Chains A and B, each alone.
Chain A
């Protein structure tokens, strides 16, 4: 099963639409709620990053019988130093982002913790791709 979602940079009201939808689908597939939570928390932080840090993006979700693959791709400033960005507490978020309840530099580390694998590729001045893969059975 494949799903596609658009994410608008700067538009916080829509952040979480993809994660909300994926949660409904996984529930219908009777995936363990604990696994669902890990997946949607990671996806939601990923969506928030596109809204907070990029101009626009796209989420591709591919669900197989035994795993979910999520690709969050954006057009944006890119991440100059990925190792630094992965550190807890590192953030370049604006005051507006912090007013929305994010911007503490916890998103990427939390995504890493909740996904089985995370791959980040980024080009400064072009954009970022975050790929998450998680097994659907424990």
Chain B
């Protein structure tokens, strides 16, 4: 049984900034998936998933929309753009900006008990 974690807690652990969707940070996720390849993300069947990525463009948010992912963590200090926020808000998504590297981000969340998908 995967342990679940509040989105709020993820932001805390990563010392990260919640860019939008503050009102949904009380909801929980079970799994995380890390990739910069959106085609990869589009093959996943899981729900209640947090996506960790270094790819910061509109396609990341569109991919999350299609894959029913409601939380994205952008690593390496990448900045989310206003048009991304607009689509994210339209889909009740939480966007998080994190300064840490991909490896460090994943390590912290893995240690906190967030499960991989496979």
Q: Which residues of chain A have a CB within 8 Å of any CB of chain B?
A: 12-13, 15-16, 19-20, 23, 33, 37, 40-41, 44-45, 48, 100-104, 106-107, 110, 113
Which B residues lie within 8 Å of A44 (CB)?
Answer: 42, 62-63, 66
- Is B11 engaged at the interface, CB distance under 8 Å to the other chain? no
Q: Which residues of chain B have a CB within 8 Å of any CB of chain A?
A: 36-40, 42-43, 55, 57-60, 62-63, 65-68, 83, 87
Instruction: Report the bound CA distance from A85 to B63 in whole Å.
Output: 22
A104 touches B66 (CB 8 A): no
B59 touches A104 (CB 8 A): no
Determine how close the nearest CB of chain A comes to the CB of B43; give it in whole angstroms.
6
List the count of A-B residue pairs having beta carbons below 8 Å apart.
65
Chain A interface mostly helix, strand, loop or mixed?
helix
In addition to A16-B62, A101-B38, A113-B43, 6 A-B residue pairs with Cβ atoms within 8 Å of each other are A12-B57, A12-B59, A45-B42, A101-B39, A106-B42, A107-B39
Contact of A16 among B37, B55, B65, B68 (CB under 8 A): B65
A100 touches B59 (CB 8 A): yes
The 5 closest A-B pairs by CB, nearest first: A101-B38, A16-B62, A106-B39, A40-B66, A44-B66
Instruction: Report the bound CA distance from A12 to B60 in whole Å.
Output: 11
Contact of A23 among B38, B58, B66 (CB under 8 A): B66
Contact of A101 among B60, B68, B87 (CB under 8 A): B60
Which A residues lie within 8 Å of B57 (CB)?
Answer: 12, 100-101
Which A residues lie within 8 Å of B62 (CB)?
Answer: 15-16, 19-20, 44
Instruction: Report the bound CA distance from A44 to B68 in whole Å.
Output: 13
Instruction: Report the bound CA distance from A51 to B74 in whole Å.
Output: 24
A101 touches B55 (CB 8 A): yes
Instruction: Report the bound CA distance from A13 to B55 in whole Å.
Output: 14
CB pairs A–B below 8 angstroms (18 shown): A13-B58, A15-B59, A16-B62, A19-B62, A20-B62, A20-B65, A20-B66, A23-B66, A37-B68, A40-B66, A45-B39, A48-B59, A101-B37, A101-B63, A104-B39, A106-B42, A106-B43, A107-B39
